[in-house]
Amino acid sequence: MLDKGRLPRHVAIIMDGNGRWAKKQGLSRVKGHNAGMEAMKEIVRASSDLGIQYLTVYAFSTENWKRSQEEVSGIFGLLVKFVKLDLRELDEKNVRVKVLGDYSVIPAAAKKSMDETLETTKDNTGLQFNIALNYGSRAEILRAVNRIQADSLAGKRQGPVDEAEFARYLYTGDENGNVPDPDLIIRTSGEERLSNFLLWQAAYSEFVFTDVLWPDFTPEVYESLLEEYQRRDRRFGGRK
């Protein structure tokens, strides 16, 4: 049974397997992503209903640009559709949406939808839903280093950098309200890799993997993985 008093504060998800799901059904990859988006919506709802404070999803990595033009534009088209259909519900559920990553370079219509979403939901106080878009963790870390250097040269900061200050320069830092490190990272579809996702932030995260392909990921599967998390013994390098 899920203990609602001991939920992870922050869950991060690598939503993998849309392509394989589509192939199995004889559908196009974009149809797979569409089914993935429906699954994602259910998990946002479930997270909000459970009272989880932060949910981060890996929607598009800095490496995903290597996919076909058709697939890339299909994914961003879905983002526009998602915002059109679901912004109202997100707002009603008091969800605050944030983006991790440099989304200034995504197609114009998708950027406009994202801007509208961020603006509409910015004062909400429920679940914070972080969408990692054009996100890569190494790029994020280098960006932090370069921003620290720029601030040092401008006299805005001085002296050695400590962990807390470094964390504030990441996408999960000040600009997005200092997101706590993920307690739990889930990856679907049987792959067991981090794929350049939250490398700094994952230092003490629990990892849970499932063979379920992302479009088949339901709130029931989600709850079973949250239960698995609750069976783990987190020591953060110390002893009990």
Residues that bind ligand FPP (CB under 6 A): 15-20, 33, 36-37, 40, 59-60, 64, 75, 78-79, 82, 131, 189
Q: How far is the CB of 170 from ligand FPP (least distance, A)?
A: 21
Burial class (CB in 10 A: 0-12, 13-18, 19+), 138: exposed
- Catalytic residue at 162? no
**How many of the other CB atoms lie within 10 Å of CB of 102?**
16
Maximal CA-CA distance, the chain: 58
Q: Considering the complex, state which of residue 82 and residue 197 has its C-beta at the smaller distance from ligand FPP.
A: 82
**With respect to ligand FPP, which residue has the nearer C-beta, 55 or 75?**
75
CB of 64 to ligand FPP, least distance (A): 5
Q: How far is the CB of 23 from ligand FPP (least distance, A)?
A: 7
Active-site annotation holder among 16, 18, 34, 183: 16
Which residues neighbour 7 within 8 Å (Cβ) at sequence distance 6 or greater? 50, 51, 52, 226
Neighbours of 213 (CB within 10 A): 24
Nearest to ligand FPP of 34, 201 (CB atom): 34
Q: Is 64 a catalytic residue?
A: yes
Task: Name residue, tokens 């709802």.
Answer: 45
By annotation, the residues acting in catalysis are 16, 64
